[in-house]
Amino acid sequence: MSPVDILPQQALTNLLHSALQDRIIGVLIGSALGDTIGLYTEFLFSAQAKSAYPSGIFTLHPTPTPFKLDRHRAPFSAGHWTDDTDHALLLLLTFLHNSTSSRLVVPTQTDFAERLRIWVSQGFKPLDTMPLGLGRLMGTALTSKGFDIDPEKVARECWEGTGRKAAPNGSLMRTHPLGLMTLWEEEAKCFEIAADISRVTHVDPRCVIACVVGSGLVRAVVRGEVNTEQDVEGVIERAKKWYEDVGKQAGDPEVDWKEFESHVSGEGGLEGLKLDDGHAIGYVYKTLGAGVVLLRMAVQRNHGVLDRVRVFEELITELVMHGGDADTNACFSGALLGGYLGFSALPDHWKNGMVHGKWLVGKAESLCQVLNVKKGEYNGQEDADTAPLGGKAVVSQQEMEGKWMVFQQETMKKMDEAKKAEEAKNAESNSKPSWSAPWKKPKQH
Nearest of 101, 33, 48 to residue 380 by alpha carbon: 101
Structure confidence by residue, pLDDT tens digits, 135-181:
888 989 999 999 999 999 999 999 999 999 999 999 999 999 999 99
Q: In this predicted structure, what is the pLDDT of residue 431? A: 64
By mean pLDDT, which of 62-66, 204-208, 298-302, 356-360 is the weakest? 298-302
Q: In this predicted structure, what is the pLDDT of residue 307? A: 76
> Any binding-site annotation on 83?
yes
pLDDT band at residue 1 using 50, 70 and 90 as cut-offs:
very low
pLDDT band at residue 226 using 50, 70 and 90 as cut-offs:
very high
> Any binding-site annotation on 325?
yes
Q: Is residue 106 pLDDT above 90, yes or no?
A: yes
> Any binding-site annotation on 82?
yes
**pLDDT, averaged across the chain:** 92
- Strand, coil or helix: what is 281? coil
Structure confidence by residue, pLDDT tens digits, 392-417:
999 999 999 999 999 999 999 888 88
What is 13-65+78-109+169-376's CATH topology?
Answer: ADP-ribosylglycohydrolase fold (1.10.4080)
> Any binding-site annotation on 84?
yes
> Any binding-site annotation on 327?
yes
Q: Is residue 429 pLDDT above 70, yes or no?
A: no
By mean pLDDT, which of 187-196, 246-255, 262-271, 410-419 is the weakest? 410-419
pLDDT band at residue 227 using 50, 70 and 90 as cut-offs:
very high
Q: Is residue 432 pLDDT above 70, yes or no?
A: no
Mean pLDDT of 1-17: 69
pTM of the model: 0.93
Domain extent listing, the chain: 13-65+78-109+169-376
Mean pLDDT of 41-49: 97
Q: Is residue 438 pLDDT above 60, yes or no?
A: no
In this structure, the dihedral spanned by the alpha carbons of residues 289, 38, 390 and 150, taken in order and rounded to 10 degrees, is -30
> Any binding-site annotation on 386?
no
Q: In this predicted structure, what is the pLDDT of residue 415? A: 86
